[in-house]
């Protein structure tokens, strides 16, 4: 079983409109709703790849109940979300079908009490005991300590469970110091963390700070990996057009599935890039186009990078 942790779960709502214009009324042509938050997105993609997944994090209120109902219909995904008094947030994606551009509105999430945070940690440690790997993903809701991910990384390491961290800002900085097996920042997050805009040099810096391996997302340019086994750049064969929402989460699912399947790094990176591109091209935010993924997988270019100085 692969465990994913989403401390700030959401109900993702996608509206499709013909043309998004400021200060105008719009007729919505299509609405979709699905469980959201980065770790839930990762879990759904892992399940689609054939892995058994358990998801945990916080859930509350009417929105939280709706998230649970939607999760119940997802094959191979086990719901272990921890109830809280506050209401699960909503995220709104408005897709302009003429341009393909997406506008995102994200609520902050519920206020988490110390007792609720303690309950999450207890659930997490119990679930880790039967997990083959864990992904810690996304933002922190109000009330959760800024060092939360560092603490969860240390718990996973104590139980010898490989851990991937995908967050940003101060939670990322503290989490890196706890020595996760993989961190997956995007280029902006990597630059913010290290002060360097040269991705390979910045990735080397993050490894020096404690991460075992760093995989940086470079958007449409693919992924850059700095690991103890080597350094690689993975590029998609074509530039994907569409909604990038969830593309990074699909990359995380590709990396984590490759880890538990003991794939070599180039194969993990090719899978992650193909999944990411197929997510951008999918009509619904956060899903992936399986035929496109399968057609891209063998065409991703993975090359060796020279080590940063």
Give catalytic residues, as residue numbers.
249
Tell me the CA distances in angstroms from 194 to 140, 174, 207, 305, one per residue in order. Answer: 21, 13, 11, 20
Are 305 and 296 in contact by the 8 Å Cβ rule? The answer is no
Alpha carbons 184 and 195: distance in angstroms, whole number? 17
Alpha carbons 268 and 78: distance in angstroms, whole number? 24
Those residues with Cβ within 8 angstroms of residue 156's Cβ, 6 or more apart along the chain or in another chain: 128, 134, 162, 163
């Amino acid at each position: 079983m692969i465990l994913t942790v989403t401390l700030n779960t959401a109900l993702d709502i996608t509206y499709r409109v013909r043309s998004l214009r400021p200060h105008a009324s719009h007729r919505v042509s299509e609405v979709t709703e699905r469980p959201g938050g980065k770790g839930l997105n990762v879990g759904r993609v892992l399940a689609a790849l054939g892995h058994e997944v358990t998801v945990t994090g916080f859930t509350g209120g009417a929105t939280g109940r709706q998230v649970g109902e939607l999760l119940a219909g997802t094959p191979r995904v086990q719901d272990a979300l921890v109830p809280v008094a506050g209401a699960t947030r909503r995220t709104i994606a408005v897709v302009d079908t003429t341009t393909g551009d997406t506008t995102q509105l994200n609520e902050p999430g519920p206020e988490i009490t110390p007792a609720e945070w303690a309950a999450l940690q207890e659930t997490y440690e119990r679930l880790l005991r039967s997990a083959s790997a864990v992904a810690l993903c996304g933002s922190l809701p109000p009330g959760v300590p800024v060092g939360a991910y560092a603490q969860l990384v240390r718990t996973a390491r104590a139980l010898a469970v490989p851990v991937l961290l995908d967050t940003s800002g101060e939670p990322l900085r503290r989490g890196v110091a706890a020595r996760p097996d993989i961190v997956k920042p995007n280029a902006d997050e990597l630059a913010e963390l290290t002060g360097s805009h040269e991705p390979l040099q910045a990735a080397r810096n993050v490894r020096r700070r404690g991460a075992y391996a760093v995989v940086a997302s470079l958007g449409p340019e693919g992924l850059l990996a700095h690991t103890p086994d080597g350094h690689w750049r993975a590029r998609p064969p074509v530039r994907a057009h569409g909604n990038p929402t969830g593309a990074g989460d699909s990359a995380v699912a590709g990396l984590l599935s490759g880890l538990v399947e003991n794939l070599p790094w180039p194969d993990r990176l090719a899978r992650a890039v193909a999944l990411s591109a197929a997510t951008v091209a999918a009509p619904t935010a956060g899903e992936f186009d399986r035929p496109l993924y399968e057609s891209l997988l063998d065409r991703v270019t993975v090359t060796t990078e020279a080590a940063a100085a």
